[in-house]
């Protein structure tokens, strides 16, 4: 079993440093890895990134993150990434990493993602240059996520994004803003790669659980949605699944 803790949208600044610490001190007892699903800062400044590094650095378990739209607000995502990386946090953007946990190779690939909307109701790469740039960005990021996921050499794959790959986990948000909350191309990338679990944030009023068209479990771990410092997901391997099915049948 692999135990994955995850949270997104922590929006850290000076005023909240220390707020997560009591729960984070318990994290190594509950999880093997922590995934951060973007919007780590309020405005994407280096100073705020240092606050994130203070809060989520040196936890005793590996920490893997993607950036969110807030982390781009000051146009210095590279500086934010550098501060987090210096604190030992792995930041993914169209890239992946593999960890060995209790003899199982866990692969995580991630990207911020982007908006664009969902099947049949989405923006098209057509018309004005601004519109083509918008949808072109959606496509480029989703392609890089798909490539990174397919390239992972591991036993279990997890996809990490900020924007949503499915509309299921947006329920609770106004329908009109779905195209700003995610895109189907991320779901398609996830479905191309044999992923066990997809985690995202961004939709503060959304819903925790959803599924891609290909059957991959999706969880919205935006902080206001999960109502805790982080959520924990246990990924069971096949033998454990068989065991629990037998146990259930015996009841």
Partner 1 sequence: MTNTDTNRPVDEYVEAEVQRLLTEDGRISEQGLTVSRRGHTLILCGDVESVQRREEIVRLVREQFPGIDLQVDIGLTRAGAPTEAEELS
Using CB under 8 A, which of 95, 205, 207, 211 touches partner 1? 205
Taking CB under 5 A as the criterion, the residue among 72, 200, 202, 219 binding Fe ion is: 202
Judge contact between 105 and 158, C-beta under 8 A. Answer: no
- For the chain, give the number of residues: 251
Question: With contact defined as beta carbons under 8 Å apart, do 68 and 112 qualify?
Answer: yes
SS3 216: coil
Could you say which residues in the range 141-200 bind partner 1, by CB under 8 A? 174, 196-197
Q: Which of Fe ion, partner 1, none does 112 bind, CB closer than 5 to 8 A by kind?
A: none
Q: Is 158 helix (H, G, I), strand (E, B) or coil?
A: strand
Distance CA 250, CA 168 (A): 34
Bridge partner residues of 9 (DSSP): none
Is 62 near partner 1 (CB under 8 A)?
no
Q: Pick from 13, 23, 69, 93: which binds Fe ion (CB under 5 A)?
A: 69
Q: Are 5 and 29 in contact (CB under 8 A)?
A: no
Of 29-48, which residues contact partner 1 (CB under 8 A)? Answer: 30, 42-43
CB under 5 to 8 A by kind: which of Fe ion, partner 1, none does 152 bind?
Answer: none
User: What residues are paired with 65 via a beta bridge?
Assistant: 36, 91
For partner 1, the binding residue among 54, 73, 95, 97 (CB under 8 A) is 73
Is residue 82 within the footprint of partner 1 (CB under 8 A)?
no
Are the CB atoms for 64 and 35 separated by under 8 Å?
Answer: yes
By the rule CB under 5 A, 32 interacts with Fe ion: no
Chain positions contacting partner 1, by CB under 8 A: 3, 9-12, 15-16, 19-20, 22-23, 26-27, 30, 42-43, 69-70, 73, 174, 196-197, 204-205, 217, 219, 222-224, 226-236, 240-241, 244
């Amino acid at each position: 079993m692999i135990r994955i803790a995850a949270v997104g949208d922590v929006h850290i600044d000076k005023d909240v440093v220390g707020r997560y610490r009591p729960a984070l001190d318990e994290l190594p007892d509950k999880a093997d890895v922590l995934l951060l699903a973007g919007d780590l800062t309020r405005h994407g400044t280096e100073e705020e990134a240092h606050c994130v590094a203070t809060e989520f650095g040196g936890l005793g378990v590996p920490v893997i993150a993607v950036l969110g739209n807030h982390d781009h607000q000051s146009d210095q995502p590279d500086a934010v990434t550098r501060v987090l990386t210096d604190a030992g946090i792995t930041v993914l953007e169209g890239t992946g990493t593999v960890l060995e946990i209790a003899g199982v190779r866990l692969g995580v690939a991630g990207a911020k993602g982007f908006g664009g909307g969902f099947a049949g109701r989405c923006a098209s790469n057509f018309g004005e240059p601004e519109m083509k740039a918008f949808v072109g960005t959606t496509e480029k990021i989703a392609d890089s996520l798909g490539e990174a996921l397919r390239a992972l050499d591991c036993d279990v794959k997890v996809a990490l994004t900020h924007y949503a790959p499915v509309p299921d986990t947006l329920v609770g948000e106004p329908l009109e803003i779905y195209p700003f909350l995610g895109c189907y191309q991320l779901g398609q990338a996830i479905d191309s790669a044999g992923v066990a679990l997809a985690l995202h944030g961004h939709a503060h009023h959304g819903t925790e659980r959803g599924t891609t068209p290909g059957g991959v479990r999706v969880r919205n771990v935006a902080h206001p949605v999960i109502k805790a410092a982080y959520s924990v997901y246990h990924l069971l391997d096949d033998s454990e699944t068989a065991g629990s099915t037998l146990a259930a049948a015996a009841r």
